Structure 1
């Protein structure tokens, strides 16, 4: 199909990708993120890129988008990586990248303007931009919002779909998706997957998608390419491409091996540590007729409009509380309010003497030092809590603020597979590694309550099992775990109670 600049369902010129011995080493890292990659992707092909956490999948996508190295002075590149026979940086607008963290791609305050931003930067005529914007919003399931709807009020999952809409409005020849459905509820996952399929059918664009869960994408793609680190544990070179072929062939030939390597293979659920008990201990926190909002209460003016109200829940020592519900239901807002980081819009969060001794009963009024030693929060976007230049210093930050030793740092580095990255800059880690580091930094302060927002986002099957097993140990040791998640398998491992949020006020009940 030939290129067409009309505003309707337009075809684009699909891009070709070629890698010959390509590699990339981040500045300050002894080992390359990718080494010796040989890969050819034909125009219009649809490729699912798999591999264990840290195999270089996100690095490759950033390189294809032409953005790798923007903030990585001193990085080292080897071999060649080409899009349509030229360096990716030379092909402005040929590739559209949706990153793991949609927050980094929301640049404007109004929904319509944000979707139009990429196309405007490509100098698409104004009369063609806005029909593209409307079409893209329909494709990703956001057509019900007004074009002037504030992007700041969107949930994490809605922002993910917004980022995808912005890419689709650009009409790129190469669509690059990095964990595009990780933050979405089950219905949203299918909605985005189907939206991508419809757009590829319209445009004929080439697709490279990184996902850990194969089942969602295997029927949409032509090929599965499995990456492995270019250097093994002994520093010996090995092929960067472990497997490459049609989905059914790859899964039939090497399903067990892929599962062992951490790939989410249909029918293979990784083994996890079993809970010793699930009775729960003393009450630590209670939400009483709680209403929550991201808006701040001002001295004058109306009260904030709650995104959820009538919430009643208990947080007990050694017991998990899992918060679920559709995107936009206010799950993260409820969790942050329980964690003492947002003020209740109505009702209250009460800390008992078992948690708040010496600090009071209102977590929102606690000082920072009082809070981090009692309630630790892992945000949906790991980068939002990084403050140090190395992984080790990041882990030592909390204990230092509390005047404690860092005796747990080495244990956490080993348990969460971060020991080999102790001196690395946190921002150069893969998405899965950043998530594990964000969990470790909170645990280093020994909180009694752990609040996690989408804790399994970006994890391969092996690191997922290790994280779930580690949290199971913490629960059995008496830590309370509150998690916001769409991951039903993860919820099943932790057990406890479930708080399902919807349009009506809900109360926590047995999971």
Structure 2
């Protein structure tokens, strides 16, 4: 075992950061001290600078070409880049943190880079994987991991290094409810055993309150608007923080009134089994996707939900069973299977929002990203401009219209990915984790928007671990079991 070195101290003195090419500072004049061993929940609206602060503390923001910096940000009294061997960070996008092709090698990678003794590495790898609940062989291909499994893998890599500062950016966003608690408890246990300082960015406030000492809330201008003991601060400033987009526990959810009713079927599945080539296959599913209906797909990590979303979107062939479009929805009578449709035929019929929004960005600006689909359909320039302007305003992206999509916050990227699909006005929209990275305000706006387009006749399918979202929106609920559960049941 390694010998824990305890937590580090974090100090910001008038610290500010502005990303290159942006007129507004992401964070402005931060003054804060976090003592060694403190556990902090960092809250704030989408785009308030939470991820930027974590990147600054990890020493990975870059140099003057990447942005403008003012003031001082220190870890144990020195710039963070000089303490990288004491800092571990789980990024908001776990896909970007998977380095090697085998699970065990990926967890060992950080320790190998910091010259941990070879005989100590593999016991720590196994212990970290067990702690986060990733029960897979060390030789398992990382390319076959679900989004939630990637998050567990990234966290295992951090915990195995026994860092003095643990930085977690939305570490449970892609996890099923049981996995959320398992990962939270693993993080809390690691911090307790090592004395590490912990800073967590997470919109699931209630989950983390039992294991943190303090909350720090960032405002829309990148300033600190609240700082204090966790439960006390949220209780005393509940209404103010709720209005600012913070998920305050106990705050009432919106009431969504649906005006429409499900219409005719667009797609039908009978004994459908889906999965990636070389990977496990789901249980057999039978269902219809109806016009003007909202269908929610839930299930544990690794059950095949994302594979089902890609199959529904015509982007992945079924592994078995029947899956076809109704005659009125298909582009031709002899091509009823969506996977056989041409790109242009899919654009007007089925729009897919991927789990990782970056996987569908193709241009250098937010506005061009929105206009790409309508332009491919040769729609009128004036109508394209009107659609783009309306979506930018509705999804709180107007000020970022000329910004590179890859430089947006995680929540902003998710809203843009939804908007790009809505821009072509398809008859069916399939979304994989649509509420990822959303604050309370943008979450409610997104739920209302999806309810509205369903009432107007669009079929909506959403893969999600967000049970509040599912309860508010679902006309129909598809639950997929984990492959190991099916094996135990003899199915």
Which category of TM-score, normalised to the shorter sequence, fits these structures?
over 0.9
- Return 5+ residue gaps in structure 1 as ranges: 1-6, 232-239, 296-303, 507-511
Whether 2:37 is the aligned partner of 1:56: answer no
1:495 to 459, 462, 474: 474
Whether 2:382 is the aligned partner of 1:403: answer no
Whether 2:434 is the aligned partner of 1:451: answer no
Look up the match of 1:386: 361
Whether 2:191 is the aligned partner of 1:200: answer yes
Counterpart CA distance in 2 for 1:503 and 1:102 is: 21
Whether 2:329 is the aligned partner of 1:355: answer yes
The offset of 1:259, in angstroms, is 1.1
The 8 Å contact of residues 281 and 319 in structure 2, kept in 1 or not, is answered as no
Q: Deviations over 1:331-379 (max 9, x none)?
A: 1111111111001111132011232234831110111111122111111
Look up the match of 1:263: 246
Look up the match of 2:270: 288
The offset of 1:73, in angstroms, is 3.0
The offset of 1:264, in angstroms, is 0.7
The 8 Å contact of residues 317 and 479 in structure 1, kept in 2 or not, is answered as yes
Give SS of 1:499's match.
strand
Give SS of 2:210's match.
coil
Q: How do 1:317-466 residues align onto structure 2 when only pairs under 5 Å count?
A: 317-358=291-332, 360-405=335-380, 406=384, 407-466=386-445
1:158 to 135, 141, 149: 149
Look up the match of 2:7: 14
The 8 Å contact of residues 351 and 362 in structure 1, kept in 2 or not, is answered as yes
Counterpart CA distance in 2 for 1:99 and 1:435 is: 15
The offset of 1:272, in angstroms, is 4.7
Counterpart CA distance in 1 for 2:137 and 2:340 is: 37
Q: TM-score, length-normalised on structure 2?
A: 0.95
Give SS of 2:160's match.
helix
Give SS of 1:92's match.
helix
Look up the match of 2:489: none
Decide which moves more: 368-377 or 413-422. 368-377
Give SS of 1:93's match.
helix
Whether 2:211 is the aligned partner of 1:228: answer no
The 8 Å contact of residues 302 and 482 in structure 2, kept in 1 or not, is answered as no
Give SS of 2:271's match.
strand
Whether 2:229 is the aligned partner of 1:246: answer yes
Q: How do 1:54-203 residues align onto structure 2 when only pairs under 5 Å count?
A: 54-69=47-62, 73-142=65-134, 144-203=135-194
Q: Deviations over 1:266-295 (max 9, x none)?
A: 111342542113x30111111121111211
Give SS of 1:267's match.
coil
Counterpart CA distance in 2 for 1:259 and 1:372 is: 37
The offset of 1:74, in angstroms, is 4.6
Counterpart CA distance in 2 for 1:69 and 1:402 is: 39
Decide which moves more: 93-102 or 474-483. 93-102
1:46 to 10, 17, 39: 39
Look up the match of 1:314: 288
Extract structure 1 runs of 4+ deviating beyond 4 A. Answer: 503-506
The 8 Å contact of residues 14 and 29 in structure 2, kept in 1 or not, is answered as yes
The 8 Å contact of residues 452 and 484 in structure 1, kept in 2 or not, is answered as yes
Counterpart CA distance in 2 for 1:105 and 1:495 is: 33
Q: How do 1:472-483 residues align onto structure 2 when only pairs under 5 Å count?
A: 472-483=451-462
Give SS of 2:297's match.
strand
Counterpart CA distance in 1 for 2:273 and 2:164 is: 45
Q: Deviations over 1:136-178 (max 9, x none)?
A: 0111012x31111111122111111010000011111100000
Are residues 101 and 243 of structure 1, via their aligned partners in 2, closer, same or farther at CA, if it must alter by over 3 Å?
same
CA RMSD, aligned part only?
1.6
Counterpart CA distance in 2 for 1:433 and 1:323 is: 23
Look up the match of 1:234: none
Counterpart CA distance in 1 for 2:70 and 2:376 is: 42
Counterpart CA distance in 1 for 2:194 and 2:337 is: 54
Give SS of 1:472's match.
helix
Are residues 421 and 270 of structure 1, via their aligned partners in 2, closer, same or farther at CA, if it must alter by over 3 Å?
farther
Counterpart CA distance in 2 for 1:272 and 1:21 is: 42
Q: TM-score, length-normalised on structure 1?
A: 0.91
The offset of 1:30, in angstroms, is 1.0
The 8 Å contact of residues 283 and 354 in structure 1, kept in 2 or not, is answered as no
Counterpart CA distance in 1 for 2:110 and 2:379 is: 48
The 8 Å contact of residues 51 and 263 in structure 1, kept in 2 or not, is answered as yes
Counterpart CA distance in 2 for 1:495 and 1:207 is: 36
The 8 Å contact of residues 244 and 250 in structure 1, kept in 2 or not, is answered as yes
Structure number with the higher helix fraction is 2
Aligned residues: 480
The 8 Å contact of residues 26 and 33 in structure 1, kept in 2 or not, is answered as yes
The offset of 1:306, in angstroms, is 4.2
